[in-house]
Amino acid sequence: MFTLPDLDYPYDGLEGYISKKIMQLHHDKHHQTYVDNLNKAVDAAPQLNGKTIEELLVNLDAAPEEVRMAIRNHGGGHYNHSMFWKIMAPKAGGEPSGKLAEDLKAKYSSYESFVEQFSEKAVKIFGSGWAWLMPDLSIETRPNQDNPIMDGKPAPILGLDVWEHAYYLDYTFKRPDYVKAWWNVVNWDEVGKRYSA
């Protein structure tokens, strides 16, 4: 059985950028629903029992057709959000350091240029989806709860949720404002660890 991971900070830890109300709703309701529906899908296909979330998502074609879309959507939601909570933190933001900072600057000429390009792609996602920073520091986007690992690619090191439930209570329809604010809570220490790994 998959379970909802605990947050490493209180619900109000990101206040000023992401409200306590959003965090409670996003974590306790939306993510919990993904977990519940993922477990239902796995229960309906006993051959999937015991597999990790990564094993399920990188081998979607191996899942029975009747649960494959549920595994994709709800498994993707669980995987993506489990990462999302980790790459944010209170009193975070700023700029990365070390090799990640150096390599981002080498690829994008400056940290500001990277943020600009990543933000532009995140804002332009049609409907719901995610913007991803890959281990090679390329920027990719996916619709819905899709993740690059579903396409046989390595796990992203950073992801931004641009589903409306991630920001609507705070920013209404103003996705660009949410994306701009989000950079103030990015946990670059965690992202840097993922990059080094």
Q: What is the pLDDT of residue 84?
A: 98
Q: Which among 12, 185, 159, 163 has a CA at the least distance from the CA of 84?
A: 159
Q: Measuring CA to CA, how many Å separate 6 from each of 9, 11, 197?
A: 9, 11, 23
Instruction: Report the CATH number at residue 151.
Output: 3.55.40.20
For residues 114 and 37, membership in a common domain is answered with: no
Domain end marker among 31, 52, 86: 86
For residues 107 and 186, membership in a common domain is answered with: yes
Q: Does the residue 159 lie in any domain? A: yes
Q: What is the pLDDT of residue 43?
A: 96
Helix 111-123 vs helix 175-182: crossing angle, to nearest 10: 150
For residues 114 and 57, membership in a common domain is answered with: no
For residues 106 and 190, membership in a common domain is answered with: yes
For residues 103 and 77, membership in a common domain is answered with: no
* pTM of the complete model: 0.97
Q: Does the residue 146 lie in any domain? A: yes
Domain total in the chain = 2
Q: Which among 56, 18, 50, 11 has a CA at the least distance from the CA of 34?
A: 56
> Regarding beta strands 139-143 and 158-161, do their DSSP bridges make them parallel or antiparallel, or are they unpaired?
unpaired
The residue with tokens 């641009």 is: 162
Q: Does the residue 147 lie in any domain? A: yes
Domain end marker among 41, 64, 86: 86
Q: Does the residue 14 lie in any domain? A: no
Tens-digit pLDDT profile for residues 123-174: 999 999 999 999 999 999 999 999 999 999 999 999 999 999 999 999 999 9
Q: Does the residue 10 lie in any domain? A: no
How does DSSP assign 56-100, residue by residue? HHHTGGGS-HHHHHHIIIIIHHHHHHHHHHHTB-TT--S---HHH
Q: Which domain covers residue 145, as residue numbers?
A: 98-196
For residues 27 and 107, membership in a common domain is answered with: no
For residues 76 and 149, membership in a common domain is answered with: no
Instruction: Report the CATH number at residue 56.
Output: 1.10.287.990
Model confidence at 10, in pLDDT bands (50, 70, 90)? Answer: very high
pLDDT, the chain, mean: 98
